[in-house]
Structure 1
């Protein structure tokens, strides 16, 4: 179950070092592995090497901007489901937030943003990521069908996971719309896993005892 305790990696993308430093100061007290990228190209390279729970992406960067970077991230099979929060100084142009959502962004924050709001949003996505890791660990247990205790153990863990997802749903309502799609993906996967566990619980019918049924006609 090492996956459950694994630290979530957060990719921070901004061309200004002072902004990256500010993000580290805001998120430093959370138990996260913070990774820096100073350009879209550098972010794409980082995503080839590691798996990330969340990307904090500056929309306005020279060269490849955040919108183009996000579009490329969403085209890759490996990274298409990684949630992205856009961070931008453009807060008066409504088309910027629209472009962010079209590019695949899960949320959008205008600078200067409230550090507590950012922390809360990041924590929700990290919690969703941990729920997904727990779910993956449960799925791995399904490979061992020889242990009769597996189904009971998985059902108990699924109940705990259901409670955690319900709690996250409440947090999402308080924080904002970001992450709703990710939460629904987790719910669908939980239901698929529950169906698989139900399959483990089916006990094959015993073969009829032909000898017992052979009554002498004499």
Structure 2
């Protein structure tokens, strides 16, 4: 996870809460440092302060989302309550954030939200590895495993959407849920494309359970 804040004490507080998740935590004290870190490593989640000197959190988030290498990384804004008035909230979602955590935050809530995105990221990584294996080698039984992993991702996506809807207005939740739904559908399309390749002449048929009946809308 990437933790971005110009206030050292706030970074230390985030690190103390999230250290129990056994994830690698990287600090950045500015938007520029955050963008540099993102270019050098892969992250499951960015926790980003909204107010920073120079490049603020909104601009940093917008740049993350404009970069094809980083645009799929979820962003949670961390801010003072007064920074998340209707205008600030709209700016946050427009910049690409999926959620926000107000200070002072509840450590249990922060860890729960971070865990959802970490689990989803790990599932996505596994799915992409399996899809690559489908393109490059003998994959007996791999389609079933890939479909199972995707089903887990769809479940996690629904759980996350429910959390967003419970903690924000319907308009805010829809903005975040739409991005999440798009990502999961992309993964489902990868699987269905693999199935089409599998069913070309001469290829053994894929199990019927892998086809569209498993597909469920979020």
TM-score bin (small chain): 0.7 to 0.9
What do the CA deviations read for 1:130-157 (whole angstroms, capped 9, x no partner)? 1110111111112334x3xx1x422221
Normalising by structure 1, we get a TM-score of 0.80
Task: Specify which of 193, 196, 199 is matched with residue 194 of structure 2.
Answer: 196
Matched, 1:156 2:147: no
Question: Is the CA contact 1:53–1:83 (under 8 Å) kept in the aligned structure 2?
Answer: yes
Number of residue pairs aligned between Structure 1 and Structure 2: 192
Instruction: Give unpaired runs (5+ residues) of structure 2.
Output: 165-172, 204-218
What do the CA deviations read for 1:55-98 (whole angstroms, capped 9, x no partner)? 10000111211111111212212112211101111436221111
1:162: Cα distance to partner? 3.3
What do the CA deviations read for 1:25-58 (whole angstroms, capped 9, x no partner)? 1111112110000111111111111111111000
The aligned counterpart of 1:98 is 90
Matched, 1:165 2:153: yes
Q: Which has the higher helix share?
A: 2
Question: Is the CA contact 1:90–1:111 (under 8 Å) kept in the aligned structure 2?
Answer: yes
RMSD: 2.1
Instruction: Say which SS state the counterpart of residue 87 (structure 1) adopts.
Output: strand
The aligned counterpart of 1:139 is 131
Matched, 1:23 2:23: no
Instruction: Give unpaired runs (5+ residues) of structure 1.
Output: 1-9, 206-218
Instruction: Say which SS state the counterpart of residue 160 (structure 1) adopts.
Output: helix
Question: Is the CA contact 2:65–2:96 (under 8 Å) kept in the aligned structure 1?
Answer: yes
Question: Is the CA contact 1:120–1:175 (under 8 Å) kept in the aligned structure 2?
Answer: no
Normalising by structure 2, we get a TM-score of 0.80
1:170: Cα distance to partner? 4.4
The aligned counterpart of 1:210 is none
- Write the distance in 1 (CA, Å) between the matches of 2:146 and 2:93: 32
Question: Is the CA contact 2:97–2:176 (under 8 Å) kept in the aligned structure 1?
Answer: no
- Write the distance in 2 (CA, Å) between the matches of 1:73 and 1:163: 28
- Write the distance in 2 (CA, Å) between the matches of 1:36 and 1:28: 12
Which is worse superposed, 33-42 or 188-197?
188-197
Counterparts in 2 of 1:3-14, with a 5 A limit?
Answer: 10-14=1-5
- Write the distance in 2 (CA, Å) between the matches of 1:159 and 1:47: 30
- Write the distance in 2 (CA, Å) between the matches of 1:167 and 1:26: 26
1:23: Cα distance to partner? 0.7
Question: Is the CA contact 2:154–2:184 (under 8 Å) kept in the aligned structure 1?
Answer: no
Larger Cα Rg: Structure 1 or Structure 2?
Answer: 1
- Write the distance in 2 (CA, Å) between the matches of 1:183 and 1:123: 18
